Amino acid sequence: MILRAKAPLRISFAGGGTDVPPYPAQEGGLVLNATINKFAWGSLRTSKDDQITVDSADMGISLSYRVGTALAFDGRLDLVKAGLRRFCDGTEQGFNIFLQSDAPPGSGLGSSSALMVALTGLMKEFRNLPLTDYETAHLAYEIERKDLGIPGGLQDQYAATFGGFNFTEFSADRVIVNPLRIRQGIVNELEHNLLLCFTGTTRRADHIIDDQSTRFREHVAPAVEGLRRQKEIAVEMKNALLQGRLSEFGQLLDEAWQAKKNLSSRISNSHIDDLYDAAKAAGAVGGKITGAGGGGYMLFYCQFEKKHRVAEALRALGAQPTDFAFEPNGMQTWRVNEPAA
């Protein structure tokens, strides 16, 4: 038996940070995001022995264990081990897992969480678990954030599971995903005018997120005000998107970036500032980092006639513009009718 899964990566428009504890429990979070046609991929092939083999194309690591082995976190594919710990209790059949992502960890596109969602989808099918989308996303969140202890928010797991454009609400014990029905013409124009660009470096988000959370707990005014403004902008941006006011959407991206930088001094750096200034000088209306900050991808809104100039300005500073389209579907699994190894 061969099982496949794919889960889309996402770009976050506004509200990022308000999904990171303890903010949702205290003030409630709001995030506006959308999934794109870049994916985390997974494949599971059952075997006739008692071995569990994991191959990561991104990390260049291959691990093999006997079924029932206690998996220790040692820095080698710990994300996958955390998932297997949850799902493999009582399993007697061996299997081989292959995992690959279209973007590296630290890209700011939620790739690690999408990979966990894809792995959860594979194991859900392998164990015949009747999980809803909400249960799948919550389980992926718990494995990554609680079992493994990686700091971060909740938006990535829900975006990868549900897919599409979503306005998501976060509270102490509840997540509500509100799918947005964006007219296709608006989606086309948004794709026409948005520019996604890799800064040239990835980053470790945990230090940034820890700093942001500490500043909120200690009631540092710029951080608290920045998070509250993020929520307001998420609402304003949602309305602009639904009504097709895309120039205003682009201006709100700029406001979201200014508010985001107040959350932690580690979110931006001189290279990111130079890229942003160059993009604005070349004609970008607004833009922002797509993840926690410090590196990864940046997203810019430009009038299409100026988009090529913005791309040239970014390339001159060592950044790498990349094509993308929006992906309407969330995590998907399917079976392949080929004989097992």
Category of 143 on φ-ψ map: left (φ > 0), alpha (ψ -120 to 50) or beta: alpha
Q: What is the DSSP string of 263-321?
A: T-TTS--HHHHHHHHHHHHHTEEEEEESSSSSSSEEEEEE-HHHHHHHHHHHHHTT-EE
**Cα dihedral value 318, 320, 321, 326, nearest 10:** -150
Q: Which amino acid is at 177?
A: V
Q: Which long-range contacts (CB under 8 A, 24 or more apart) does 298-301 make?
A: 298/196, 298/197, 298/199, 298/272, 299/11, 299/13, 299/194, 299/195, 299/196, 299/197, 299/253, 300/194, 300/195, 300/197, 300/253, 301/193, 301/194, 301/195, 301/246, 301/249, 301/250, 301/253
179, burial (CB in 10 Å: exposed 0-12, middle 13-18, buried 19+): middle
Residue 154 half-sphere exposure toward CB, CA atoms < 13 A: 30
Q: What are phi and psi of 165, to 5 degrees?
A: -85, 125
Active site residue 274: no
Check the CA dihedral 282-288-291-293 and report its sign: positive
Please tell me which residue in 156, 173, 206, 211 is annotated as part of the active site. 156
DSSP alpha helices (H): ranges in 128-169?
133-141, 155-162
Residues with a known catalytic role: 156
